Structure 1
Amino acid sequence: MRRRWIGSVLVLLAVLWGCGGSDGEIRHDRPADDAAAYPTAYIAAVVAAVDGDDLAVDGGEHVVVASNFDQRTDMGGWALEDADGTRLPLGIGRQLDPGGELRIHTGCGTETDDAVFACLDTEVLDDGGDTVRLLDAAGAEVDAFRYGE
């Protein structure tokens, strides 16, 4: 009986302290009115946390890059970089269509036309806030998106 009581208390404390996964999605979207200011590509959203594991296979935390290009563009060499200097490449030979979007995930997964997976073993996007920069193939900053506190 005493073990069951102690186990129940530990579970309650884990829930109260937020252990065992995310309490829901933490998504930060760029206001739609701001998107027109970017002639090439821009960071449309940052999903810093998801329901469950932030490094879930084929899901998890990610950044959405959107296109204002007027033609299909090779994003090879482009990258995202957070305030700590961690880089997430957009993928070699990755193409971004006009008006299209590309999701760059920090965890592992199966790549598709609109999803790239960096396959890192640690979370990159700080749930409480961070700055993510979009860098072109020459390393020049194209966009910087600050979210959270």
Structure 2
Amino acid sequence: MTTRTPLLFAVALLAGCSNVPPGETANKPRPMIEQIETTRDGTSTAATVDSYKADLAQRIYAVNSTQVYTTRPQALLRSVVVVKYSVDSAGNLLRSEIARSNHDRVTEATALATLRRSAPFPKPSPHLLRNGRLEMHESWLFNNDGRFQLRSLALVQMNE
């Protein structure tokens, strides 16, 4: 094995980690990623709003993996952005808006963009819908480097 072989292997491995599937461009809508449990028609089997939010959080993490941090949140976060959003019976994002934040425009834009980029979502179970839609709130927890975790899946925050 030459010294170039491990390097070529590493490059090939990293090339396979792209967020954009082969044959698609970054601007083209992505198909729904199967979540923990969905039926054949793409309906989430989540029985509660909280478990459906966890499905959506996993979808957001999968689509925006380079912007998610995987360690515990730092003790003093850069920003916490709460987004209010609604999903229709087909899993389409109907609307999203900032419900609360510290007015950090960069993190607000990131939260909204990562949510929009992740749609469509699994279809919510019919019993979770009110007037044909499901309204939820999710918190984006931002570290100083601009990466985030979502409150639905976040690790315990550091003490110091």
Q: Normalised by the size of structure 2, how large is the TM-score?
A: 0.30
Q: Which has the higher contact order (CA 8 A, sep 6+)?
A: 2
More helix by share: 2
